Amino acid sequence: MVENGAKGKVEIDEERCKGCQLCIQVCPSHRLKVNGNLNKKGYMAIHFDEEVKEGEKGCTGCAQCATVCPEVAIEVYRAK
Amino acid sequence: MTAETAYKKVFGRPESLKDAYTHYCPGCGHSIAHRLVAECLDELGLREKTIGVPPVGCAVLAYNYFNFDMVEAPHGRALAVATGIKRASPENFVLSYQGDGDLAAIGTAETIHAANRGEEISAVFINNAIYGMTGGQMAPTTLLGQSATTAPGGRDAKLHGRPIDISIMLSHCDGVAYIERCSLASPKHIRRAKNAIKKCFQVQIDHLGFAMVELLSPCPTNWKLSPKDAWAWVNEVMVKTYPLGVIKDTTGYDEDKK
Amino acid sequence: MPSEKMLMRGSHVVGEAAVRAGCRFYAGYPITPQNELPEYLSKRMVEVGGAFIQGESEIASINMVLGAASVGVRAMTSSSSPGIALKQEGISYMAGQELPGVIINMMRGGPGLGNISPSGADYFQATRGGGNGDYRTPVLAPAGCQELVHLTFDAFDLADKYKTPVVLLGDGLLGQVMEPVVFPDPIDVGTLPKKEWALTGCKGRDPRALFSMLLNVDDLYRHVLHLQEKYDAITAKEQRWETAMTEDADLLVVAYGTPARIAESAIEELRSEGIKAGLFRPITLWPFPSTPLRNLAAQIGKVAVFELSMGQMLEDVILAVGDRAEIYFHGVPGGVIPTPSNVAHFFRSALNGDGKLGRRIET
C-alpha cells in the first residue's frame, strides 16, 4: 500500500539541481514545482510535491523528469 | 520516510558516471549526453575496459565525470589519439567525445581519416552550433543567420562561409558502418539518442568499423535562451539544417524490423 | 646473442633498433630524408606483432603516439624538420601529461620547406622545444649508425624511466648513409617494468585520467615545479659526451652528430701537420654537457664550434664556456656538407686567430 495512491515517486537532490526546469516541462502529472528557495549554489531548485490534491494526478513513475534532468539529480521509484 | 519495501528504484545514476557536481550550465546537453553514454556502457558491461578521449571544449573536464580511464587530447586530435589507443590495445573499448569545434573544425582531418580507415572507435559528437567554452564564437555548425560573437548580426554565407554537415561527409567513407543524428531536446528524442549511442557502441563490439552519433545539443547560455526555449530552438530551427535520422547504416542490425 | 654484422642504411637501422628495444607502435608520415624508416617498419613492426600506421599527417601521427603511449606501449614517430615542426603541439602535451615516447628527426635544410639535404638547424627546436610551456625533452645525437643503435635503445629507456618524450636527432646524412652495424638481442617486451600509470581499463581499480590541463594556478605551479625536478634529475644523471685527442690539444673543437665525423677527419689532417686539435662531442644535446665542456675549454683556452646551422649549438657553448676561452664559429647551413679540408681550414684559422674562415665570437 503506498500513500496518495500514487504509483511512483521521485527524490530530487536539491543541491545538485540547477533549476533548469526541463523536468517541470515534461512531467505529465505536474508534480514538480519551483519552491522559491535557493540552494547553496544559488539555483532555485525544483521540488517534488508528494501531496496530491483533489483533481490532481499522482506521480506515475514515468521517469520523464529523470530522463531529461541534465544533473542526474532525480531518482525515480515505482510501487511494486 | 516511506517504507523502502513499497517501492523499487527504476532510475538512478549509472555506474559509469561519477557522483560529481558538474560545471555544465543549467539545461546543457552535455550532462544528458554524459548520462546516456554512461548508461549504455553500463548496460553493455563495458565500463572496465573503456578508454575515453575527451575534447577541448566545455567537456574538457569529462574525466572528472566519467567513471573510466581517459586521456586528454589536444584540441581536435581526439580521433587520432583514439586511433593510437585502439591500435595499440585493441581489446579495450575506445570512445571519443567531442564538440563541433573539436570534431568538425580543427579536427576535421583527424576525424575524416579515422572514419575513413574504419577505425573501430565509437565517436560521440555533440553539436550545439556554437563554441561554448570560449564564450559563444561561431562554430563550423553555426546556422546561417544564427548570431555568434564572431558573426555579429548572424552568420552570413559570403562573409563567414556556410555551416558544415560532417555527418553527411563521413557517410561517404567506406570505413563508416553507422552514423545517426539525434537530438537531446525532448524525452522522446533523448530515448532515441540512447538507442543510437548503444547501437554505435555495438558496432565496435562487433568489429564492423567506425560509428558515430551526432547529438543536437542545447546551449542555453550561448544561445541566450532559457533551457525550455533552447529545446524549442533545437526542435524547430536546428533540425532544418541538421535533420534527424539515420544517415548511414550498413550494420544490418535492424533488418528484422523492416 | 647479438646479431651478426650487417651493412644497413641509417633509416633502417633505427627501425630495427627500435623494434629490438621493444617498440610496438609506430605512426608516421612520409617525408624525405627518412621515408625508408616507415617503409621498413610497415613490414617489420607487423612481423613482431606491433602496430604500424601511416598517419594522414605528422600531426595525426604524434597524436597516435600519444594515444599508444597512454596505454603503456613503447611508441615512436619520425619525421624531418618541417614535419617535426608540426609535432610540437603533441610533444608539449606528452611532456605535460608525462607520457614516454620517441621522436626521430632526420634534419634537413630549412626554414620552411628548405631542401632535403642534411642540416643541423633544428637544434633549437629540439633542445628548446617548439611547443608551448616550460618543458624540456632529452635529445640524443648519434654520429653514426652503430651509435644510432644503442642510442635508440637509450631513447626508449630514458623515455620510460623519466616519463617524457625523447628526441633522437639525426640528419639526412645519417638517415641515408650505409654502415656496418651489430644489433643487441631483442628485449622481451614482457620483461619491461610495468607502467602503473597506464590506461588499461579500470577493472579492479579506480579510473585513471592523464591530462596536462590544471586550471587551478597552484596546481599547475606545483606540476611545473615537479616537471623541473625531473629535468634536474636528468641533467644530473643523463649527460653523455665523448672526447678525443684532448689531452694535449691547443684547440678544442666542439661538434655533434655527423658533422663531428667531418670534424674528426679535419682534426686528423691537422694532426698530420703537427697541429694539436682535439674534439669534444656532445651526445646529449639536452642536457648539454656544460660542465665537462667548461672545464676542458678553460684548460685549452681556444674553442672552435662547427655545426650545420647559423649558430645554435654555439649558444649552448657560449653559455657553458663564457669568456674562459676564445670561441670561434663556423656554420654551414642550407644542406651544404663541407669537406674535411674546408673544416680544417676553419680550425687553422681559429688557432691562428686570422679570421680567414669562420669568426671570433665576442663574449
Q: What is the pLDDT of residues C143-155, one digit of tens each?
A: 999 999 999 999 9
Q: What is the CATH number of domain B21-257?
A: 3.40.50.970
Q: Is the pLDDT of residue C135 over 60?
A: yes
For the record, the C-alpha cell of A70 comes out as 541534465
As a whole number, mean pLDDT of residues B23-49 equals: 97
As a whole number, mean pLDDT of residues C256-261 equals: 98
> Is there a contact between A26 and B22 if contact means CB atoms under 8 Å apart?
no
> Is there a contact between C66 and B81 if contact means CB atoms under 8 Å apart?
yes
Query: Which residue from B118, B51, A36, B179 is spatially nearest to C67, judged by alpha carbons?
Result: B51
Q: What stretch of H or E contains C64? A: helix C58-70
- Domain ranges for chain B, please list them: 21-257
**Exposed e or buried b for every residue in A9-48, given b needs 16+ CB within 10 A?**
bbebbbebbbbbbbbbbbbebebbeeeeeeeeeebbbbbb
Neighbours of chain A (3+ CB pairs under 8 A): B
Looking at beta carbons, which residues of chain C come within 8 Å of B69?
A: 199-202, 207-209
CA atoms within 13 A on the CB side of B95: 31
> Is there a contact between A70 and B31 if contact means CB atoms under 8 Å apart?
yes
For the entire predicted model, the pTM comes to 0.96
Interface contact C57, partner B, CB < 8 A: yes
Q: Is the pLDDT of residue B3 over 70?
A: no
Q: Radius of gyration (Cα) for chain C, nearest Å?
A: 21
Query: Which residue from B99, B55, B76, B164 is spatially nearest to C60, judged by alpha carbons?
Result: B76
Question: Rounded to an integer, what distance in angstroms lies between the CA atom of residue C65 and that of residue B77?
Answer: 12
Q: How many CB atoms lie within 10 A of CB C180?
A: 10
CA distances from B223 to A21, B230, B239, B245, C319 (A): 17, 7, 15, 24, 55
Question: Rounded to an integer, what distance in angstroms lies between the CA atom of residue B177 and that of residue B201?
Answer: 11
Q: What is the pLDDT of residues B142-187, one digit of tens each?
A: 999 999 999 999 999 999 999 999 999 999 999 999 999 999 999 9
For the record, the C-alpha cell of B250 comes out as 550498413
Q: Is the pLDDT of residue C164 over 80?
A: yes
Confidence tier at B4 by pLDDT (50, 70, 90): low
As a whole number, mean pLDDT of residues C292-300 equals: 98
Q: What stretch of H or E contains B246? A: strand B245-249
As a whole number, mean pLDDT of residues B108-131 equals: 98
Which residue is listed with cell 552550433? Answer: B129
Confidence tier at B47 by pLDDT (50, 70, 90): very high
Instruction: Show the domains of chain A with their CATH numbers.
Output: 3-78 (3.30.70.20)
- Counting every residue, how long is chain A? 80
For the record, the C-alpha cell of C201 comes out as 581499463
> Is there a contact between B27 and A8 if contact means CB atoms under 8 Å apart?
no
CA-based torsion, C351, C354, C357, C361: positive or negative: positive
Q: Is the pLDDT of residue C348 over 80?
A: yes
Q: Is the pLDDT of residue A6 over 90?
A: no
Confidence tier at A1 by pLDDT (50, 70, 90): very low
The edge-to-edge listing of strands for the beta sheet with A74-79 is A8-12, A74-79, B7-11
Which residue from B minimizes the CA distance to C212? B72
Q: What percent of chain B has pLDDT over 70?
A: 97
Q: What is the predicted pLDDT for the residue at B256?
A: 61
A58, A4 Cβ separation under 8 angstroms:
yes
Looking at beta carbons, which residues of chain A come within 8 Å of B186?
A: 26, 68
Q: How many CB atoms lie within 10 A of CB B228?
A: 16
- Which neighbouring-strand residues pair with C25? C51, C75
Which ipTM was obtained for this model?
Answer: 0.96
Q: What stretch of H or E contains A54? A: none
Q: Is the pLDDT of residue C97 over 70?
A: yes
Q: What is the predicted pLDDT for the residue at B257?
A: 56
Interface contact B83, partner C, CB < 8 A: yes
Question: Rounded to an integer, what distance in angstroms lies between the CA atom of residue C69 and that of residue C61?
Answer: 12
Q: Is the pLDDT of residue B194 over 60?
A: yes
> Is there a contact between C202 and B68 if contact means CB atoms under 8 Å apart?
yes
Q: What stretch of H or E contains B197? A: helix B187-205
Beta strand segments in chain C, E? 6-9, 25-28, 51-54, 75-79, 101-107, 139-140, 165-171, 178-181, 209-210, 241-244, 251-254, 277-282, 284-286, 302-307, 326-331, 359-361
As a whole number, mean pLDDT of residues B10-32 equals: 96
> DSSP 3-state assignment of C276?
coil
pLDDT mean across residues, chain C: 97
Lowest mean pLDDT segment, chosen from A6-10, B68-72, C89-93: A6-10
For the record, the C-alpha cell of B5 comes out as 519495501
The answer to whether the bond into B74 is cis (omega within 30° of 0) is: no
pLDDT mean across residues, chain B: 96
Q: Chain A residues within 8 A (CB-CB) of chain B? A: 1-3, 8-9, 16, 18-22, 25-26, 43, 61, 63-64, 66-72, 74-80
> Is there a contact between B83 and C64 if contact means CB atoms under 8 Å apart?
yes
Confidence tier at C227 by pLDDT (50, 70, 90): very high
Q: What is the pLDDT of residues A21-65, one digit of tens each?
A: 999 999 999 999 998 889 999 999 999 998 888 888 899 999 999
Q: Using CB atoms within 10 A of its CB, is residue C115 exposed (0-12), middle (13-18) or buried (19+)?
A: middle
Q: Is the pLDDT of residue C134 over 60?
A: yes
Q: What is the predicted pLDDT for the residue at A4?
A: 63
> DSSP 3-state assignment of B183?
strand
Instruction: Show the domains of chain C with their CATH numbers.
Output: 6-237 (3.40.50.970), 241-361 (3.40.50.920)
Q: What is the predicted pLDDT for the residue at A3?
A: 57
> DSSP 3-state assignment of C227?
helix
